[in-house]
Amino acid sequence: MATFSLRRAFLLAPALALLLPLLAAAAPAALAAKRPVVRSVTPLSVGIGEKLTIRGSGFVRGRNKNTVIFRRQGGKLVFVKAELATAKLLRVTLPAKLRDALAVRSGARVPTRLRLRVLATRLGAAYTRTSRSPVVGPEDATLTPETSRSSPTGDCDGDKRLNREESDDDADGLSDDTEISLRLQPCEVDSDGDEASDGFEYASARELNDDEDQEGNTYLPFPGKRPYPNPLDGSDKDTDFDGDGLSVSEEFRLAQYAIEKGASRDLEKLPYTDGHQYSPVWRGSDGRRQPRLAVAGYSKQADFLDWAAGHGYGAVVLPAGLGTHSLLDFNLNGVVDTTAQGSQSRVEASYFDVDRDGWLSDDERDEDADGLSNWEETHGPITDASWWTSRYPNEPKFRIAYKGTELDDADSDGDGVRDGADDQDHDDIPNLLEMSRNMVSARGYDDPEEITAENANPSPWYGRVQPFNPCLPYANARTCPRHVPFEGAWAPFGQDDINYLVLN
């Protein structure tokens, strides 16, 4: 056993020698940056000399600022600079040196599945799973048309089945014949490159075009002349067609996340589309769609609350003598309210249900079960401080730009605490208790005359919450600076600041 361990250490030494300088150079900035995450790699079958597109998050913008590490099981590591990068996309041309990572059979290099990992400001937590790892072949000069990935003997989706054996070569839910008829690419999951698959946009367009209230109309066919969302329009990824507050690309991310957790990938039963505000639906005998996901018993909220109770976050200790309260006791009245108080307030027990209709629309759902809704994490109060600046323009920003949370990552900062129970500004008030001033202020009452000594908040400062400013609501919080500048001070110390305003 000792001999085996020494031999492994000897073999790993060259790889570690290459990694250490890269990690050392990135160390200072890494303390404040998120680990890069790879969500998709296209194409999944590619030759040396061709380009690879990597989508995810946590990348460093610019040329040659990110390193992609390729690894074959039992083989050497190969480091390749990405020539182009945005915060969510990398493009890398596979160099000749990558031949060294390919397997050898009968004395020749053969197509080999390589797992990859990204080094940006920090090193990615893990190599890609097999399903997200490309099969890399030798240089194009050594390939024949019969072995290209789009040929009948190729493998568009990298599932080790030849294209001629499959009717949907790229596994996007649309048959090759359908894609050809729509002028899409049968070997590309995302023909227009807008971060949403062709099948998803096709299904969303059909849902959007379904006017079920028209007598005799149960489901219209795909609007082929003018499909919206459009799998041939690369500019529509940030458009919200169905009006639920989530864009095409955001709902696709949610759909992919749910599918990875076991949801159906059938285009008729997708967990999210951008064609209907309530994606999980059922159809009555008249063909009309009805919401299917009830607020009562919502499994994602139950998952989050079970996690919180099991990890010491079911009840939280608040600063300044406010005591210990349930994570859902937003107004600190000692109980989790099951009925609304005031026309503007939501029920604490079912706080996701913004419109209080008893059903969850796609924006109200919490797909990653972190206690925060999909909309809150994409366009709402937990995105970043700019949302609060727009909502309360007279309240100057805090001096540190704290990061928001991720839509499809329950623990965005990787500290083991789910985002709803976490604390972006480290003021010892969890994010969930700082999402809505309306819910925490005077127990939700709208009319000041209704507020009495019995129903008022336990502290006059508690209602002015803000998850990206540690001086709100409590100016003596442990991370609120002790020395405030004479000019350019943040709320509640800024000259243009107002005493108290509740809009959300």
Environment class of 222 (CB within 10 Å of its CB; exposed 0-12, middle 13-18, buried 19+): middle
Q: Which residue has the higher pLDDT, 437 or 456?
A: 437
> CA 502, CA 391: separation in Å to the nearest integer?
9
- Of the pLDDT bands very low, low, confident and very high (cuts 50, 70, 90), residue 460 is low
- Of the pLDDT bands very low, low, confident and very high (cuts 50, 70, 90), residue 364 is very high
User: In the predicted model, what is the mean pLDDT of residues 25-42?
Assistant: 73
In the prediction, which pLDDT does 476 show?
92
Evaluate if residue 164 carries a pLDDT over 90. no
In the prediction, which pLDDT does 310 show?
97
CA nearest to 181, candidates 129, 143, 221: 221
User: In the predicted model, what is the mean pLDDT of residues 165-178?
Assistant: 87
Whether the upstream peptide bond of residue 43 has omega within 30° of 0, thus cis, is yes
Evaluate if residue 126 carries a pLDDT over 80. yes
Instruction: Sketch out the chain's domains with CATH numbers.
Output: 22-143 (2.60.40.10), 167-292 (no CATH), 297-504 (no CATH)
Of 154-163, 231-240, 396-405, the range with the lowest mean pLDDT is: 154-163
> CA 229, CA 200: separation in Å to the nearest integer?
9
Neighbours of 453 (CB within 10 A): 5
In the prediction, which pLDDT does 212 show?
73
Of 65-74, 96-105, 151-160, the range with the lowest mean pLDDT is: 151-160
Which H helix or E strand runs over 26?
A: helix 2-30
User: In the predicted model, what is the mean pLDDT of residues 403-408?
Assistant: 95
Q: Which residue has the tokens 């110390």?
A: 493
> CA 287, CA 212: separation in Å to the nearest integer?
7
Q: Which residue has the higher pLDDT, 220 or 158?
A: 158
Evaluate if residue 365 carries a pLDDT over 60. yes
In the prediction, which pLDDT does 108 show?
76
User: Do 418 and 316 meet the contact criterion of CB atoms below 8 Å apart?
Assistant: no
Q: Which residue has the higher pLDDT, 383 or 497?
A: 383
In the prediction, which pLDDT does 467 show?
97
Count the alpha carbons within 13 Å of 223 in the hemisphere toward its beta carbon: 15
Contacts 24+ apart (CB under 8 A), 10-15: 14/76, 15/76, 15/77
168: left (phi over 0), alpha (psi -120 to 50) or beta: beta
Of 7-16, 74-83, 351-360, 393-402, the range with the lowest mean pLDDT is: 7-16
Q: What's the pTM value of the predicted model, to 2 decimals?
A: 0.69
- Of the pLDDT bands very low, low, confident and very high (cuts 50, 70, 90), residue 438 is confident
User: Do 158 and 45 meet the contact criterion of CB atoms below 8 Å apart?
Assistant: yes
> CA 33, CA 147: separation in Å to the nearest integer?
41
- Of the pLDDT bands very low, low, confident and very high (cuts 50, 70, 90), residue 120 is very high
User: In the predicted model, what is the mean pLDDT of residues 41-51?
Assistant: 86
> CA 417, CA 423: separation in Å to the nearest integer?
9
Of 4-8, 149-153, 156-160, 277-281, the range with the lowest mean pLDDT is: 4-8
User: Do 89 and 55 meet the contact criterion of CB atoms below 8 Å apart?
Assistant: yes
- Of the pLDDT bands very low, low, confident and very high (cuts 50, 70, 90), residue 148 is low
SS3 433: helix
Q: Which residue has the higher pLDDT, 497 or 407?
A: 407
pLDDT digits (tens, 9 = 90+) for 373-404: 999 999 999 999 999 999 999 899 999 999 99
User: In the predicted model, what is the mean pLDDT of residues 292-321?
Assistant: 94
Residues in the chain, total: 504
> CA 246, CA 265: separation in Å to the nearest integer?
20
* Cβ-Cβ contacts under 8 Å for 7 (sequence gap 6 or more): none
- Of the pLDDT bands very low, low, confident and very high (cuts 50, 70, 90), residue 130 is confident
Evaluate if residue 179 carries a pLDDT over 60. yes
Evaluate if residue 178 carries a pLDDT over 80. yes
In the prediction, which pLDDT does 239 show?
94
User: In the predicted model, what is the mean pLDDT of residues 365-373?
Assistant: 97
In the prediction, which pLDDT does 5 show?
45
> CA 21, CA 184: separation in Å to the nearest integer?
44
Task: Report percent pLDDT > 70 for the chain.
Answer: 83
User: In the predicted model, what is the mean pLDDT of residues 251-275?
Assistant: 94
Evaluate if residue 410 carries a pLDDT over 70. yes
* Cβ-Cβ contacts under 8 Å for 263 (sequence gap 6 or more): 255, 270, 271
User: In the predicted model, what is the mean pLDDT of residues 410-438?
Assistant: 95
Evaluate if residue 338 carries a pLDDT over 90. no
Strand ranges, E, within 235-392: 281-283, 289-291, 315-318, 323-326
> CA 76, CA 78: separation in Å to the nearest integer?
7
Question: Whole-number mean pLDDT of the chain?
Answer: 84
- Of the pLDDT bands very low, low, confident and very high (cuts 50, 70, 90), residue 483 is very high
N- to C-terminal Cα separation, the chain: 63
